[in-house]
Amino acid sequence: MNWLTNYVRPKIRALVEKNDVPDNLWHQCPSCEQMIFHRELEASLRVCGHCGHHMRLPAKERLELLFDDGEYQTVELPKLTADPLKFRDRKRYTDRLKESRASTGEEDAMIVAHGEMGGRNVVVAIMNFAFMGGSMGLALGKALLTAARLAVLQEAPLICFTSSGGARMQEGILSLMQMPRTIIAVDEVKEAHLPYITVLTDPTTGGVTASFAMLGDIAIAEPGAVIGFAGARVIEETIREKLPEGFQRAEYLLEHGMIDRVVHRRQLRDELIRISNLLLESRAAADVVPLISDSSKKNKKNPETPEASNDKESGSEERPAAE
């Protein structure tokens, strides 16, 4: 130990290294540019206290907010094991996948969870924008199908949180084919007369919007969320015009009749519970009141019995591995 190690080295280190205070203690609101302390931001569910701007909320944080006591179980999902197109742009697709898996700790862009919400069992399919822009590929299509079939199995509502840049280009045509696949998935829920509720969060665009995102029995959006088919830049380049104020924002869609409601993040859970309760009231009554025989009760639930049985058949092969 000498002067060099005791005095000079720490000084140099202090110069070179960043100080201990993490630099993410303060966040700047991207909308009003006010600085927000990180604790305040967490307490406000990442909604700016100054202007009400809803910042993106990581999928896991959302799930905690949603379920009773923040308790839920995630469903193990099939993951992509091959690169069907051997896709390579400036990077290999397999490398991009690896990076996203490492940085997010998730296998792909959708998480499926189930648990109780307001005392009722619900299945939640939630997209993770942090994973390759929430892009839709084979794994995501399969994930939504798994979620839908779990909802049917549990006679639970399916709630889907969307946030996506659209199709996953690296899976080429196979990503496009997830549009019909995800539509089939949510239609299985609808055929079982269970609610399919979408919560469109920022941003929801492209092939995701043009498939399951826009087919909710009830469509809710978060304030200010960008929701659209084509990207704003593409539209501007095509029509060579400035886009109107608030274009493709949740409020704009509401005004144009494209969604049911715009709901503040803080009210979202209550809203979902209330809607599910209201929608399922007659179903619950049918379950409770043993008016007539079993078979007629079944008919009441599933007027299109032959179709429903068809789908059930394939459902048994694809039965999700619920934890």
Q: Which of 45, 130, 153, 176 binds another protein (CB under 8 A)?
A: 176
Pick the stretch among 46-54, 114-122, 243-251, 294-302 that binds another protein (CB under 8 A). Answer: 243-251
Q: Which of 3, 5, 24, 244 binds another protein (CB under 8 A)?
A: 244
Query: Which of 319, 298, 5 minimizes the C-alpha distance to 151?
Result: 319
Are 219 and 259 contacting, i.e. CB atoms less than 8 angstroms apart? yes
Distances (CA, A) of 31 to 52, 196, 199, 216, 227: 9, 31, 21, 29, 17
Q: How big is the CA angle at 85 (ends 83 and 89), to the nearest 5 degrees?
A: 95
Q: Which of 115, 134, 206, 320 binds another protein (CB under 8 A)?
A: 206
Least distance in angstroms from the C-beta of 137 to another protein: 9
**DSSP annotation of 241:** S
Instruction: List 136's β-bridge partners, or say none.
Output: 167
Query: Which of 34, 57, 60, 63 minimizes the C-alpha distance to 45?
Result: 57
Query: What is the footprint of another protein within residues 254-283 (CB under 8 A)?
Result: 256-258
Query: What is the footprint of another protein within residues 279-308 (CB under 8 A)?
Result: 306-307
* Count of positions on this chain that bind another protein (CB under 8 A): 64
Pick the stretch among 65-73, 109-117, 122-130, 252-260 that binds another protein (CB under 8 A). Answer: 252-260
Tell me, rounded to whole angstroms, the distance of Cα 107 from its chain centroid: 15
Query: Which of 124, 129, 89 minimizes the C-alpha distance to 108?
Result: 129
163 binds another protein (CB under 8 A): no
85 binds another protein (CB under 8 A): yes
Least distance in angstroms from the C-beta of 53 to another protein: 22
Query: Which of 202, 288, 316, 303 minimizes the C-alpha distance to 251?
Result: 202
130 binds another protein (CB under 8 A): no
Least distance in angstroms from the C-beta of 130 to another protein: 18
Q: What does 112-160 look like in DSSP terms, one character per residue? A: EEEEEETTEEEEEEEE-TTTGGG-B-HHHHHHHHHHHHHHHHHT--EEE
Nearer to another protein, 47 or 143 (CB): 143
**DSSP annotation of 67:** S
Q: Which of 162, 163, 211, 276 binds another protein (CB under 8 A)?
A: 211
Joined together, the tokens standing for residue 67 give 């379920």
- List of residues contacting another protein (CB under 8 A): 78-85, 87-90, 138-139, 141-142, 145, 167, 169, 171-177, 179-181, 183-184, 187, 206-207, 209-215, 228-231, 234-235, 238-239, 241, 243-244, 247-248, 252, 256-258, 306-307, 310-311, 314, 318
